[in-house]
Amino acid sequence: MLSRLATRSLASSRPLARSFATPQQSWSRGMKILAIFYSGGEAAKQEPRLLGTTENQLGIRDWLESQGHEYIVSESKEGPNSDLAKHIVDAEVVITTPFHPGYLTRDLLNTAKNLKLCLTAGVGSDHVDLIAASEKNIDVLEVTGSNVTSVAEHVVMNILLLVRNFVPAHEMIERGDWQVSDIARAAFDLEGKTVGTIGAGRIGYRVLERLTPFDTKEHLYYDFASLPAEAEKKVRARRVADLKDMVSQCDVVTVNAPLHEGTRGLVNADLLKHFKKGAYLVNTARGAICDRDAVAAALKSGHLSGYAGDVWNVQPAPKDHPWRTMKNPLGGGNGMTPHYSGTTLDAQARYAAGTKAILENYFKGKAQKPEDTIVKDGKIFSKAYGAK
């Protein structure tokens, strides 16, 4: 794994600039910054805009090293011999992404002697044990908003591909077959259907905005907080206070809430019983919000006609994960992909720039944006993660 480990410190490559040497200024210290990204292989060598990879390193290596910081980048994140476990011990900042999550568990955080900041390059910091981080006074920040449009577009695509039975239609063409009735028997229009979102924040609301021109029947949402009346009106949305009540009215349910203790396993066998028979479920939020086996069973029985999304309870998903191959009784209904909806090249440019801005604030001791702040001063700060 060491061959994949890209580590160069200024100490070994460039002299420390004198202007950064004032010891009392926090930004003047050279600090150890550890980043866990996936290896992008040939694609990342050919495409420098694949910034969230071990090869392209968010494009911040030169900037960090010019300030005297040591930047360790690796994809190795699992187990006691991983680079994550080895380097977290004395790193001050750890950068992770939700796409190849370095799981910052309580046990791992307990080994971290200098850690002050866990920074998610993207949106969704559930791979960090937020309670443990707050107890240890480690701040957790993410680049809020950086990929919400990317995900909202993906959700709309997933809804359409399920409702219109797109995937089996394309597979039929690749096989060399042509039997329109086998596809059309399970293909519908989105027009006139009821769509509900669990979570109507940045992504959930953008999904409803994008669905409005499809002349859907109604939009429902289930969230801690009401949207402003004007915002509800704009997307024809109605809040439903009870989740079972909401899902029982929906042809399509989409999950757009963070993963925390209040949402883990929220869509389980019991809730699925309340879904309309033949409904579609789209989850690009986090895999663990939906119960793996209950979803696979509901699709297999036809209680759900389709399930699509890009997030998995463990990432990378094991080869035998049931969501890779599960199908409805007609042999379709699966729109799963690897986790990429929020990591389009456009999104990568935004979360790389946002990560740099957060680091810059940190080095200079400047206040961070409240909307980027998940854990601060020993407390969960973000309302989306349950702060009061």
Catalytic residue list: 147, 286, 315, 339
CB neighbour class for 388 (10 Å; exposed up to 12, middle 13-18, buried from 19): exposed
Residue ranges in 135-174 that form contacts with ligand NAI under rule CB under 6 A? 147-148, 151
Q: How far apart are CA 117 and CA 119, in angstroms?
A: 6
As measured in angstroms, the least distance from the Cβ of 388 to ligand NAI is 12
Helix, strand, or coil (residue 75): coil
As measured in angstroms, the least distance from the Cβ of 368 to ligand NAI is 16
Closest to ligand NAI by CB, 70 or 223: 223
Q: How far apart are CA 241 and CA 321, in angstroms?
A: 33
3-state secondary structure 165-226: CHHHHHHHHHHCCCCHHHHHCCCCCCCCCEEEEECCCHHHHHHHHHHHHHCCCEEEEECCCC
Which DSSP category does 320 fall into? T
Residue 286 contacts ligand NAI per CB under 6 A? yes
Residue 350 contacts ligand NAI per CB under 6 A? no
Residue 219 contacts ligand NAI per CB under 6 A? no
The mark string for 53-72 relative to ligand NAI (x by CB under 6 A, - otherwise) is --------------------
Let me know: does 306 contact 277? Beta carbons within 8 Å.
no
Let me know: does 240 contact 196? Beta carbons within 8 Å.
yes
**Ligand-binding site membership of 314 (annotated):** no
Residue 285 contacts ligand NAI per CB under 6 A? yes
CA 19 to chain centre: 39
Stretch binding ligand NAI (CB under 6 A), from 56-64, 113-121, 194-202, 292-300: 194-202
The residue number with the shortest CB distance to ligand NAI is 201
Let me know: does 123 contact 145? Beta carbons within 8 Å.
yes
**Ligand-binding site membership of 147 (annotated):** yes
> CA-CA-CA-CA torsion for 202, 197, 310, 142, nearest 10 degrees?
30
Residue 100 contacts ligand NAI per CB under 6 A? no
As measured in angstroms, the least distance from the Cβ of 203 to ligand NAI is 3
The mark string for 308-327 relative to ligand NAI (x by CB under 6 A, - otherwise) is --xx----------------
As measured in angstroms, the least distance from the Cβ of 196 to ligand NAI is 11
Q: How far apart are CA 183 and CA 90, in angstroms?
A: 57
**Ligand-binding site membership of 203 (annotated):** yes
Closest to ligand NAI by CB, 123 or 167: 123
As measured in angstroms, the least distance from the Cβ of 334 to ligand NAI is 17
DSSP per-residue codes, 82-119:
SHHHHHTTT-SEEEE-TTS---B-HHHHHH-SS--EEE
Let me know: does 150 contact 342? Beta carbons within 8 Å.
yes
Binders of ligand NAI: how many residues, by CB under 6 A?
Answer: 32
Residue ranges in 102-141 that form contacts with ligand NAI under rule CB under 6 A? 122-124
Structure tokens at 222: 């289930």
As measured in angstroms, the least distance from the Cβ of 367 to ligand NAI is 20
Which residues bind to ligand NAI, rule: CB under 6 A? 122-124, 147-148, 151, 198-204, 222-225, 256-259, 262-263, 284-286, 310-311, 339, 341-342, 384
Which residues define the annotated binding site? 123, 147, 202-203, 223, 258-262, 284, 310, 339-342
Which residues define the annotated binding site for NAD(+)? 202-203, 223, 258-262, 284, 310, 339-342
